[in-house]
Amino acid sequence: MNKFLPFLILAIILTLIPPVGSSANTTAIQLGSDVLFNQFHHLIEGKKVGLITNQTGLNSQMVSTIDMLRRDRSVHLTALYAPEHGLDGKTVAGKQVTSFIHPVYAIPVYGLSGSTRKPTPEMLKDIDILLVDLQDIGSRTYTYISTLQYAMIAAKEQGKEVMVLDRPNPLGGTIVEGPVVELPYRSFIGVDTIPLAHGMTIGELALFFNRTIGVDLTVIPMQGYTRNMIYQQTGLAWIPSSPHIPNLTSVFGYMATGLGEGTPIRQGDHFTWVGAEGLDSHKYADLLNGSLLPGVIFIPENKGTAGGVRLQINDLHQFNPAKTGIYALAYAKQLQPFPLPKSTSMQISMFDKVMGSNKIGLLLEQGKSPQEIVSSYEADLKKFVELRQKYLIYGNEPFLPMQPIQQKQPKQPKPKQPEQPKPSKPEKPETPTPAQPGNNNGTTNQTKKPEPATKPIPQTPKSSEKIAYLTFDDGPSTVTPRILDTLKTHQVKATFFIVGREVAGHEAILKRIVAEGHALGGHSYSHNYQLVYKNMESFFADVEKGSQMIEKATGVKPAVFRYPGGSTNTVSLKYQDPKRYNKQHTVMHAIKAEAKQRGYTFIDWNVTNGDARSNKYTAAQTLANIKQQVKSQKEIVVLMHDSSTKSPTAEALPEIISYLKEKGYRFEVIQADRPTVSNVK
State the DSSP string of 108-126.
EEEE-SSS--S--HHHHTT
Quick one: which of 241, 248, 236, 239 has its CA closest to 60? 236
Sequence-separated contacts (24+) of 564-569 with Cβ below 8 Å: 564/523, 564/524, 564/527, 564/529, 564/532, 564/533, 565/529, 566/604, 566/605, 566/681, 567/592, 567/602, 567/604, 567/681, 568/604, 568/681
CB 470 within 8 A of CB 658: no
CB 431 within 8 A of CB 494: no
- What does the alpha-carbon distance between residue 502 and residue 550 come to, in Å, rounded to a whole number? 10
- What does the alpha-carbon distance between residue 302 and residue 491 come to, in Å, rounded to a whole number? 75
218 backbone dihedrals φ, ψ, rounded to 5°: -125, 130
- What does the alpha-carbon distance between residue 138 and residue 145 come to, in Å, rounded to a whole number? 9
Q: Which amino acid is at 213?
A: I
Helices (H), 83-179: 121-124, 144-158
Helices 507-515/536-554 angle, 10° precision: 80
Q: What single-letter DSSP state applies at residue 103? A: T
- In three-state secondary structure terms, 68 is helix
24 backbone dihedrals φ, ψ, rounded to 5°: -60, 135
- In three-state secondary structure terms, 611 is coil
CB 299 within 8 A of CB 269: no
Q: Which amino acid is at 557?
A: K
Which element (helix H / strand E) includes 574? helix 571-575
- What does the alpha-carbon distance between residue 655 and residue 651 come to, in Å, rounded to a whole number? 9
Quick one: which of 546, 551, 508, 514 has its CA closest to 527? 546
- What does the alpha-carbon distance between residue 627 and residue 514 come to, in Å, rounded to a whole number? 29
- In three-state secondary structure terms, 506 is coil
Quick one: which of 199, 647, 232, 172 has its CA closest to 406? 647
CA angle 369, 371, 372 (to 5 degrees): 65
Q: What is the distance between the terminal CA atoms of the chain, rounded to a whole angstrom? A: 77
Give the catalytic positions in this structure: 473, 641
- What does the alpha-carbon distance between residue 627 and residue 606 come to, in Å, rounded to a whole number? 13
